[in-house]
Structure 1
């Protein structure tokens, strides 16, 4: 659990620096340099305490609603290597990348789009329409440049994203994120991905997957390439339409393994709509069941939300609002335990 070391340093330094003859030193640095063996033993003890604390968090989450039975079904599927993680922006945000809403608002501040107009579109859940509105105002060159500058940055991986190579050591990974954090995390903790499949090439994904190996499927492309991107309304229409490449991919991919959505809001976007169509056409009983770690926001009718997700054959495991990072970390650690 080497990725926890910065958090351990935060713990050591929480009482402030040490001042010696007018100079200040971090407590973590003093311990590490003067007593390296004590420092390492202390870190290992701290890791065990953190695991224990996260185990308590997982037990609290799984003790709510009908989470426990659903989680056990997920663990059994994972033990049979029948789970593919589907990762959203919520896993990249702790590392410093913005969520999609936050990014759009940052672009609005540098555009002539009125706040009320953007708010109206976003409140309706039309994120592709919001992106199109700002794109049309800024123009392609400026919009694309700001997208690349934001998501092509090198950020250190922080939080639960570091657990993914441990929970899914041999699995393919699917994401709608534009950043390159997953590539960095998997390369740093395991052998990395054999191939990265972007946007327009995703139609070849099933053939490539059948050939063996581990792949990262970036469904909406990457931040530095416009050609294979899925972001604006026209790009969504082309990718998710009746003859769209993403639509065809889902119609075939959903006959394979269960998906586990992590860091995804799962609002009524194109992904959910496409999955609903496949389930309606083929019948839920013929398809694998999918799961999601999902934040239960205040004011949301949990039962109604669960019914809506079931139309896409997605079954949520709820965690409390405002406790995203710790809850996801706790649930991933719980997945690593024997079923």
Structure 2
């Protein structure tokens, strides 16, 4: 029996005893009904049809599930449990087979343990918002350069090809600050559900409330995460930090382990919060070395030493954020937990280089396969991790 009904079992038994007593009061009718009523099984359903004793044109129709639930409830729940097990095995087969084949099960189980401890802080990158119609950083900057015209596209080409997005953003911002701000505000607004037939919430955003009930970090300008948690909680987030902004309840809620959001690059609707160009990064993080007296790096360091970050939709190329983590490691003042990154598979040489770099700052990659731009394996791995952590699905002797 499932938990809600199991908790009320004594009440249910009392009600059933009373109903059975009332049934036995009609023993003569019951005998006639059992002996004389016409019963047939309809192939549509199937359903059980019982013809009235007094009117042959009147039929009473019942689903098999109704009969089993009301007549043999324990058997109903036993069958339900077995059915759920089969469905969960079907749901998780692809992810489990891939993790076994790629010999990543031990790393995956460590990640599951972090979810169980409720110490996971998702770190959400631009790839997560892509299914909802938002661009990746490189594509966005390239489009903005074309809008500015002239030889701007040629000026940024080398930096864009080498993922130097801060330098590109700096060039574009200095070239036309107002066009830059308008592009961000327009491109990253909350999109309508029907726009371009894209969902408001991509699958990974839908999963965030199951992954973390405390801190979420994102490099995205859009407001998908805020809106999702507002719908789930029935009220807006009260702890948030947009770029360099302070005094928004973020730090106090972070330290208490309550739901809060850090948007590293700022919020699309608040241009003063942007941290996306070289000059803005220097202002937020420090001129040369990371300045931990500043609010943004100090808060990010606190997350890095307090939670297990899980990077999703991030390329994790060398940037200011990873430099900050490297600085914390090199200082040696803190015990740093294990962090995780779900990354699209790449060639072995690139994988080895990236793994070495990430492991040096306590980030353990879990690779997933991509077939013809299909990233659905990422969602499948996350769904498996959530169900295993919540004891809805057991890996049995997989360890």
TM-score by length of 2: 0.67
RMSD: 2.5
**Runs of 4 or more consecutive aligned structure 1 residues displaced over 4 Å after TM superposition:** 47-54
1:184 — aligned with what? 227
2:215 — aligned with what? 172
Q: 1:113 to 1:297 in 2, by over 3 A?
A: farther
Q: Once the two structures are superposed, what CA deviation does each residue of 1:257-282 show, in whole Å capped at 9, x if it has no partner?
A: 11111111111011111111111211
Give the CA deviation at 1:64: 4.2
Give the CA deviation at 1:251: 2.9
Residue range with higher mean Cα deviation, 157-166 or 175-184: 157-166
Looking at structure 2, the residues matched to 324 and 276 of structure 1 have their Cα atoms a distance apart, in angstroms, of 32
The answer to whether the Cα contact below 8 Å between 2:241 and 2:261 also exists between their aligned partners in 1 is yes
1:252 — aligned with what? 302
TM-score by length of 1: 0.78
Q: 1:94 to 1:300 in 2, by over 3 A?
A: farther
SS of the aligned residue for 2:382 comes to helix
Q: 1:303 to 1:95 in 2, by over 3 A?
A: same
Give the CA deviation at 1:252: 2.9
**Aligned counterpart for 2:202 among listed residues 140, 146, 158:** 158
Gaps of 5+ in 2: 1-83, 193-199, 390-399
Q: Tell me, yes or no, if structure 1 residue 68 matches structure 2 residue 105.
A: yes
2:159 — aligned with what? 121
Looking at structure 1, the residues matched to 133 and 346 of structure 2 have their Cα atoms a distance apart, in angstroms, of 22
Looking at structure 1, the residues matched to 87 and 346 of structure 2 have their Cα atoms a distance apart, in angstroms, of 26
Show the 5 A alignment for 1:80-119. Answer: 80-111=117-148, 112-119=150-157
The answer to whether the Cα contact below 8 Å between 1:88 and 1:175 also exists between their aligned partners in 2 is yes
Q: Tell me, yes or no, if structure 1 residue 333 matches structure 2 residue 383.
A: yes
Give the CA deviation at 1:224: 1.5
Name the larger-Rg structure.
2
SS of the aligned residue for 2:361 comes to coil
SS of the aligned residue for 1:220 comes to coil
Larger RCO, structure (CA 8 Å, separation 6 or more): 1
Q: 1:265 to 1:201 in 2, by over 3 A?
A: same
Q: Tell me, yes or no, if structure 1 residue 134 matches structure 2 residue 172.
A: yes
**Aligned counterpart for 1:225 among listed residues 270, 286, 298:** 270
2:364 — aligned with what? 315
